[in-house]
Amino acid sequence: MRVVILSSSVYSETACAMAVRLAEKGYVPVGALALSALNSGTLLRKLGQWGVRETVSYARAKVMPQRRDQRPQPHNPYLQPLLKNRSGFVSNLREVAASYGFPVAICSDQNSPDAIARLREWSPDLIVFTGGNILRKPVLAVPRLGILNVHLGLLPEIRGMSTPEWSLLKNVPVGITFHYIDAGIDTGPILQRFEFPDLAACESLSDLRNRLIAFGIEKTGDVVASLDEGKTSLTPQATFNQDCQFFVMHEWLQACAAERLARSRTATLAGTRHG
């Protein structure tokens, strides 16, 4: 199976770890298409997730030259096993590509004619989306099978943004969904859903998100293998729930979600002690 990765940046830890995981499962990407590191949409998303100070610190660590003995560890600690190399840790997608022998191309918009032309050159059966633009129909039509997304929530119950937080607030099990991207927002057909088994181990919302990202990357290799072997069937999302979509939440709602996570952790640990 010919697999291509779409990435929000060459510095995306998620894209780097995804490429390594796929290669480990025997699916070395035939190419990776990344947005420019200074893409405004990517920067705004990072600011919304992390805040100014953490975003600036992350960008400085990724972009500024580092001595081999001073290279920073990954922002997401749960990706370390996939990103570790002889010099410490992988810092960008080009390093992964050099190790496994696949090309990396940069674009300003994943929907642009140049980007689509490059994707067609690689003739992918499957595109794995790890971040970037909202994809339009011309891009969606490129791969033979579709564009695979790992959504950090159970579909169709939790669509949109801030999915771990909304899952906690709506009393929906925290989990991930593998689905094909279509013209809607998180409305494409579902391949597989997995509930997250380690909620009690999460010490904060950021810790939960990092663990979910790593959990999704770990499962991706198995999902791609199932697709390649023709063992995965598609499940259309229930039409009655198509309009249920969540957005970035206010700080006080985030605090409520964090409190629910803490209560869930405490209750689980108490049950373990008394069990």
Q: 266: pLDDT confidence band, cut at 50, 70 and 90?
A: confident
Of 20-24, 62-66, 199-203, 229-233, which gets the smallest average pLDDT?
A: 62-66
CATH architecture of 3-274: 3-Layer(aba) Sandwich (3.40)
Q: Find the angle CA(9)-CA(61)-CA(23) to the nearest 5 degrees.
A: 45
Strand partners, 85: 88
For residue 265, is pLDDT > 90? no
List strands edge to edge, sheet with 190-195.
Answer: 104-107, 31-35, 3-7, 126-129, 146-151, 175-180, 190-195
Q: What integer pLDDT is reported at residue 109 of this predicted model?
A: 96
The residues near 132 (Cβ < 8 Å, ≥ 6 apart) are 6, 7, 8, 34, 35, 41, 42, 110
d(CA 90, CA 262): 33
- Summarize pLDDT for 175-187 with one digit per residue, the tens: 999 999 999 889 9
* Contact assessment for residue 132 and residue 7, using Cβ atoms and an 8 Å cutoff: yes
Q: Answer whether residue 261 shows pLDDT above 80.
A: yes
- Name which residue leads in pLDDT, 61 or 223: 223
CA angle 178, 42, 78 (to 5 degrees): 55
Please answer whether residues 32 and 5 qualify as being in contact, where contact means their C-beta atoms are separated by less than 8 angstroms. Answer: yes
* Residues 87-118 pLDDT 10s: 789 989 999 999 999 999 999 999 999 999 99
Each residue's pLDDT tens digit, 162-172: 999 999 999 99
- The pLDDT, as a whole number, for residue 267 is 80
Closest Cα to residue 266, out of 205, 174, 202?
202
- Label residue 69 by pLDDT band (50, 70, 90): low
Mean pLDDT of 145-161: 95
Domain coordinates in residue numbering, the chain: 3-274
Q: What is the mean pLDDT of residues 44-65?
A: 54
Burial of 206 (0-12, 13-18, 19+ CB in 10 A): middle
Residue pair 93/19 in contact by the 8 Å Cβ criterion: yes
* Residues 96, 22 contacting (CB under 8 angstroms): no
Amino acid 48: pLDDT: 54
